[in-house]
């Protein structure tokens, strides 16, 4: 009997070992497609991604899928053919239209604004070139950085000519060509210049010269009034809750950010860039030539170019990419031209960590280790503040940060959103504590000091408000909103 039991135990052990082997074998044999699906599914599960994705390897689509809802009120899911506003991904299309007009002899890269828009103030128009506008090196202030932009400008319709006048008289922030400063005004001006040179609207030029030739039937210039099938609604995530994104009249982003598209159509666009269908090779090479240092890499014409990390490794690969952010949406297209890989990520809940997601997908494509998403510290402590108060939340913050960093992550933007959520709830002192934690964690960010300064101002602590606004401006002299608030505080 004892021998029988021993043999049975051995058999059971062998069976368990075999099952364990099979489990590990399956996990190691997981395909790239399965890994991408699991990665994005986990981001969605953690409330960090709601949108659509497409991945191509060696020029062939290997993955496309929607996650979450295109319309939360009607429970309509996101799909690969769902139309999203793409924000500043529009800029690469604007750059292509410019280069086509240069190729036709209708524009010159060294041509001045005044050559094409004679009514533009000559003090600036005679100094800023098309090249400066394409590379964000014009020195013209970006209208989206104006303190009154969202309150006074963003909801009303404008013609391009009328809207140009809202920033045309602004003084240059620096000598044209001296440096890079991301600028929506520059690409708005390019749209107006395209209309003058082409003799048709920007929307018509876009459709006739890019979208129709490439059969991009699900891409176009977005209009609020148009009935657009399969259009995703835009939402803002407020750490666990969602709200409808603030209204924005689409005449405002214009050539800097008013397009919509699908992940499938951006694949058609990207594939065309390997051909001469839209632009001869020589002009295309110029369009993708690094021009000026930006974001730790280089900016070309409508694209960011440089080395990017592969997964968790120290290895890197050349990427050509651009992101987009507009009310309720953020987007990212990443090209790996040498390998002909492509990653397209669209999100319709305001802000998703698309760069981190793209980096992990690169890891999968190259069979390298990659990071998985982590839960939000900000979301966890906000819930604790609401339920139990600030002291338990501060203790929880330290616990999660120091002992659970393998499963929880600290994100500057999420902490900032938590602070503003508390301000909306009239919990000003609690918001100050959250902003202080953010300053401690991200001391080189101008925005954390700006937010803390605002909270102190609301709380009536003028001295600390001034101190933090000054620090914010020290870190970012172009923080126009902070500059305006500091002026008001010092006058009063």
Does residue 408 sit in helix, strand or coil?
strand
**In Å, how far are 72, 269, 271, 366 from 274, measured between CA atoms?**
38, 10, 6, 21
Contact indicator for 339, 350 with CB cutoff of 8 Å: no
Domain with CATH 3.40.710.10 in the chain: 84-365
Which distant-in-sequence residues (6+ apart) come within 8 Å of 449 by Cβ? Answer: 439, 468, 469, 471, 472, 475
Cβ-based burial of 282 (10 A; exposed 0-12, middle 13-18, buried ≥19): exposed
pLDDT number for residue 239: 65
pLDDT (tens digit per residue) in 349-375: 988 999 999 999 999 999 999 999 999
pLDDT (tens digit per residue) in 418-429: 999 999 999 999
Return the closest-CA partner of residue 411 out of 379, 453, 389: 379
pLDDT number for residue 435: 98
Q: Mean per-residue pLDDT for 457-470?
A: 96
DSSP notation for 322-336: EEEEETTEEEEEEEE
* Percent over 90 (pLDDT), the chain: 86
CATH of domain 375-491: 1.25.40.10
Q: How far apart are the first and last CA of the chain?
A: 94
pLDDT (tens digit per residue) in 104-128: 999 999 999 999 999 999 999 999 9
Rounded Cα distance between 261 and 33, Å, is 23
**pLDDT at 26 exceeding the cut of 90:** no
User: Which of 87-101, 415-429, 455-469, 476-490 has the lowest average pLDDT?
Assistant: 476-490
Domain with CATH 1.25.40.10 in the chain: 375-491
Return the closest-CA partner of residue 92 out of 321, 249, 348: 321
pLDDT number for residue 4: 36
Q: Which helix (H) or strand (E) holds 12?
A: helix 2-28
CATH pick for 84-365 out of 3.40.710.10, 3.30.460.80, 3.90.79.10, 3.40.50.10800 = 3.40.710.10
Q: Mean per-residue pLDDT for 22-31?
A: 53
pLDDT (tens digit per residue) in 176-219: 999 999 999 999 999 999 999 999 999 999 999 999 999 999 99
**pLDDT at 266 exceeding the cut of 80:** yes
pLDDT number for residue 2: 38
Band (pLDDT 50/70/90 cuts) for residue 479 is confident
**pLDDT at 273 exceeding the cut of 90:** yes
């Amino acid at each position: 009997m004892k021998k029988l039991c021993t043999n049975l135990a051995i058999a059971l052990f062998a069976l368990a070992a075999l099952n364990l082997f099979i489990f590990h074998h399956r996990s190691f044999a997981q395909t790239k497609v399965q890994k991408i699906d699991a990665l994005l599914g986990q981001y969605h599960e953690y409330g960090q991604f709601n949108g659509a994705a497409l991945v191509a390897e060696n020029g062939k689509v290997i993955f496309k899928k929607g996650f979450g809802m295109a319309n939360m009120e009607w429970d309509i899911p996101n799909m690969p053919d769902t139309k999203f506003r793409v924000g500043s991904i529009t800029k690469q299309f604007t750059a292509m239209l410019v280069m086509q007009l240069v190729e036709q002899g209708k524009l010159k890269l060294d041509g001045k604004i005044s050559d094409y828009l004679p009514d533009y103030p000559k003090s600036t128009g005679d100094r800023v070139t098309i090249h400066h506008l394409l590379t964000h090196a014009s020195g013209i202030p970006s209208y989206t950085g104006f303190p009154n932009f969202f309150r006074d400008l963003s909801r009303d319709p404008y013609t391009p000519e009328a809207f140009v006048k809202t920033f045309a008289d602004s003084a240059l922030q620096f000598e044209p060509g001296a440096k890079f400063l991301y600028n929506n005004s520059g690409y708005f001006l390019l749209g107006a210049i395209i209309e003058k040179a082409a003799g048709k609207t920007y929307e018509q030029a876009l459709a006739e010269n890019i979208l129709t030739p490439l059969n991009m039937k699900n891409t176009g210039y977005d209009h609020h009034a148009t009935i657009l099938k399969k259009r995703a609604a835009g939402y803002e995530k407020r750490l666990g809750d969602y709200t409808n994104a603030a209204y924005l009249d689409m005449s405002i982003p214009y050539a800097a950010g008013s397009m919509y598209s699908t992940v499938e159509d951006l694949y058609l666009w990207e594939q065309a860039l390997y051909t001469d269908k839209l632009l001869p090779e020589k002009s295309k090479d110029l369009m993708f030539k690094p021009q000026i240092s930006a974001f730790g890499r280089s900016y070309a014409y409508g694209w960011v170019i440089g080395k990017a990390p592969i997964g968790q490794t120290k290895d890197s690969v050349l990427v050509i990419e651009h992101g987009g952010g507009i009310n309720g949406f953020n987007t990212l297209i990443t090209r790996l031209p040498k390998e002909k890989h492509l990653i397209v990520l669209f999100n319709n809940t305001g802000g998703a960590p698309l760069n981190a997601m793209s980096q992990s997908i690169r890891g999968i494509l190259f069979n390298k280790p990659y990071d998985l998403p982590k839960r939000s510290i900000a979301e966890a402590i906000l819930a604790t503040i609401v339920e139990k108060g600030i002291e338990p939340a501060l203790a929880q913050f330290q616990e999660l940060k120091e002992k659970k960093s393998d499963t929880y992550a600290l994100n500057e933007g999420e902490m900032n959103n938590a602070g503003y959520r508390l301000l909306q709830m009239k919990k000003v002192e609690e918001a100050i504590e959250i902003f202080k934690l953010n300053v401690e964690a991200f001391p080189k960010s101008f925005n954390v000091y700006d937010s803390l300064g605002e909270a102190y101002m609301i709380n009536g602590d003028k001295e600390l408000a001034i101190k933090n606004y000054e620090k914010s401006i020290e870190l970012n002299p172009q923080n126009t909103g902070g500059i305006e608030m500091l002026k008001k505080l010092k006058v009063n």
